[in-house]
Amino acid sequence: MSAQGPASTVTAARPSRPGMFQRLRSDKVALAALILLLVIVAAAVFAPLLTPFDPYHTNLRLRLRPPGGAHLLGTDSQGRDLLTRLLYGTRTTLVLGFAGVAIGTLIGGTIGLLAAFYRRLEGPLMRIVDVLLSFPSILFGLALAAMLGIGMDSLVIALGLSASPRIARVTRATAATVMQAEYMEAGRVIGLSDATLIHRYLLRNCAASIVVYCTLQFGETILLAAALGFLGLGLQPPIAELGSIAAEGRSFIFLAPHVSTAASLLIFVIVLSCNVLGDAFRDLTDPKLRR
């Protein structure tokens, strides 16, 4: 804040968010969600340092051991340490969520901005988006995963494509409001190119809303990745992924309930934290809700 000087007047078109993190601190639930998420991300990133076990070392003679002893959370159906599998699984799941949302934002954001900027494109582009939106996202993801085959790349594309229509909607709605602002008109009058207008004025003023929406979409994408993994259209063994771990434990739900329960709880916590955090960000960045 202290660095505010003449430079800030030049970039006045950017939305300013003074004290956002300070205000986040007053929202106890959101803060808890943020801390939880940071801990989970840190645990996933530093997984190899946190666990002495090899996530891919199988030993059928040690399978489905209950929690306790050397294996803190027990072992899975292949006798691998479950905690280790969950840490590596979280890694995969988070990467899937992040990459999926990134691709979704790239596609959806571009469609949304173009539709708002070029009014004659709006009709055709948004009708395509409407068609995509009318598919339940799990069905859409299933169809794409079946079409593109199995593997990390195609899974990320499937996740991105199924996230894109919603992001396109949100982007277009925000961008349409920004388009009516006087500085857009002013930019046009002084002869800025379309690319500059979109990049410097439109995108930057929409960015906050898109980012907030992405936080919510992140949880949804993780859930979809887990669902596809659960249905067997996710990643191939031996890669650990939370949805597949939950699915694998389903057969043993009576025999060894810890496998499915632990993986499902972890998905639940990650998705809930994302949603709480997304809500908090929306409140914080919405000028109309400023206290």
Partner 1 sequence: MDSFGSRAASLAFALLLAAPAAALAQESTLTALRTSDADRYDPQRTTTLAAAEVLYMVGETLVTLDRDLKTVRPGLAERWEVSPDGRTYTFHLRRDVSFCDGKPFTAAAVVGTVERWLNPDFAGVSKWKAGKVESIKALDDHTVEYRLKEPYSELLYQMTQFNFVIIDPEQAAALKDNFGISAFNGTGPFCFRSWKPRTETVLTRHEAYRWGPAFMENAGPAGVARFVWKIVPEAATLVAALQTGEGDLSYSVPAWAIAEVQANPKIRLLNPDVAFRTHYVGMKITRPHLADKRIREAISLAIDEGAIADAIFFGEAEAANAYFSKATLDFNPGMKLGAFRYDPARAKALLDEAGWVAGPKGVRMKDGKPLSLNFYGFTGDTNRQMAEAIQGDLRKIGVDLKVELYDATIVWGKLRTQDFDLYQMNYPYLSAGEAMNLYFLSSNMPTPNRMNWNDPDTDRLIEEGNRATSPEARYSAFAQAEAIVHEAVLWKPLVNEKLTVVSRTTLKPFKPHGISGAALYNGLDLIPAK
Where does this chain bind partner 1 (CB under 8 A)?
Answer: 56-61, 63, 77-79, 150, 232, 236-238, 248, 251-252, 254-255
> CB–CB of 224/71 below 8 Å?
no
Distance CA 156, CA 93 (A): 11
The structure tokens listed for 61 are 């003679």
Of 142 and 208, which has the nearer Cβ to partner 1?
142
Please compute, for residue 68, the number of CA atoms within 13 A of its CA located in the half-sphere on the CB side: 2
Of 19 and 237, which has the nearer Cβ to partner 1?
237
Q: Report in angstroms how near the CB of residue 79 gets to partner 1 at its nearest.
A: 8
Q: Give the DSSP letter string of 129-169.
A: HHHHHHS-HHHHHHHHHHHH-SSHHHHHHHHHHHHHHHHHH
Of 11 and 251, which has the nearer Cβ to partner 1?
251
Q: Report in angstroms how near the CB of residue 156 gets to partner 1 at its nearest.
A: 18
Q: Report in angstroms how near the CB of residue 250 gets to partner 1 at its nearest.
A: 8
Q: Report in angstroms how near the CB of residue 47 gets to partner 1 at its nearest.
A: 17
Distance CA 87, CA 245 (A): 11
Of 11 and 236, which has the nearer Cβ to partner 1?
236
Residue type, 58: T
Q: Report in angstroms how near the CB of residue 80 gets to partner 1 at its nearest.
A: 8
Of 14 and 63, which has the nearer Cβ to partner 1?
63
Distances (CA, A) of 84 to 65, 79, 175: 14, 12, 44
Distance CA 217, CA 271 (A): 10
Distance CA 234, CA 244 (A): 7
Q: Report in angstroms how near the CB of residue 228 gets to partner 1 at its nearest.
A: 13
Of 193 and 236, which has the nearer Cβ to partner 1?
236
